[in-house]
Structure 1
Amino acid sequence: MEPKEILKEKALKITKGRIEILNILTNSENSLSAEKIYQIYRDNNININLSTIYRTLELFEEKEITEKITLNDGVFSYKIKGETHRHHLECDICHKEVEIPCPMLQIQEMVQNSTGFTLTDHDLVMKGVCKDCKKKQ
């Protein structure tokens, strides 16, 4: 979807800065920090205020356009929100299943930023006992 369409769909004002930030995020293979986006602007001789980038990224997260990822150094990184798969937790006793979002996104970003590896797949196995069965024990 084009940046203008995304902004319209989310009932956001269409500005040159918002369009450009969406373009930068869309064209990046990695998540990007506000500082990295600012550097991309500067490298292309485009004048923008760093605080504008921060405000825009927070707005995009609020409107569920981007995902905010906390990296191991405490820096926030952003990427366009896409389809995320989910995992299932199954109770060892009653076999009730609960669906949860994949918690690997942050780990995936940390691995990529620190090693350069792009994860292509992962397996996550979690076992446990649900709260109802835990009360019965």
Structure 2
Amino acid sequence: MELKEFLRTNEMKITKARVEILNILKTYEFSLSAEKIYQILKKNNININLSTIYRTLELFEEKKIVDKIVLEDGVFSYRLKKKTHMHLLQCDICHKKVEIPCPMTQIEEMVQSKTGFTLMEHNIDIVLKGVCKECKNNKKK
């Protein structure tokens, strides 16, 4: 889908900044910080303020176009949303089940930013077990 049409479909005004930032996010397979996007734009002689980049990334997050990832140094990194598999949390007491997105996304990004290593796959049990909030609260009583 063409970038301008993609913005229209997501009910966003089409601006040069949005198109350029979306194009950069589409080009890179790994996540990028706002500062890194700013550097890429500067390198390509595209003049967009850093504050505009931050606002655009926040809008993209609100519209669920990007994932916002917190790296270990507290810096936010962004990448286009991908279809991700889910993991199942199961309470050991009441057996309630809750689906969550794969937690490996942040780990993959931390590995990439720290080492430059790109993970191609991971192997984690499908079901993660623990105790849900309600059962924990009932135990305290």
Q: By the TM > 0.5 criterion, same fold? A: yes
Q: Tell me which residue corresponds to 1:80.
A: 80
Q: Tell me which residue corresponds to 2:109.
A: 109
Judged with a 3 Å threshold, the aligned counterparts in structure 2 of structure 1 residues 133 and 59 are, in CA distance, closer, same or farther, namely: closer
CA distance in 1, matches of 2:119, 2:93: 33
User: Which blocks of at least 5 consecutive residues in structure 2 are unaligned?
Assistant: none
Judged with a 3 Å threshold, the aligned counterparts in structure 2 of structure 1 residues 35 and 94 are, in CA distance, closer, same or farther, namely: same
Where 1:23 maps in the other structure, the secondary structure is: helix
Deviation per CA, 1:37-81: give whole Å up to 9, x if none. Answer: 111111111111111111111111111111111111111110001
Where 1:61 maps in the other structure, the secondary structure is: helix
Aligned residues: 137
1:16 Cα deviation after fit = 1.4
Judged with a 3 Å threshold, the aligned counterparts in structure 2 of structure 1 residues 124 and 16 are, in CA distance, closer, same or farther, namely: same
1:15 Cα deviation after fit = 1.1
Q: Does 1:41 align with 2:25?
A: no
Superposed counterparts of 1:5-24, under 5 Å = 5-24=5-24
1:87 Cα deviation after fit = 0.2
Q: What TM-score do you get using the length of structure 2 for normalisation?
A: 0.86
Q: What TM-score do you get using the length of structure 1 for normalisation?
A: 0.89
Tell me the C-alpha RMSD between the 2 structures: 1.9
CA distance in 2, matches of 1:132, 1:47: 52
Judged with a 3 Å threshold, the aligned counterparts in structure 2 of structure 1 residues 21 and 92 are, in CA distance, closer, same or farther, namely: same
Q: Tell me which residue corresponds to 2:129.
A: 127
1:106 Cα deviation after fit = 1.2
AA at the equivalent of 2:130: G
AA at the equivalent of 1:31: S
CA distance in 2, matches of 1:62, 1:94: 34
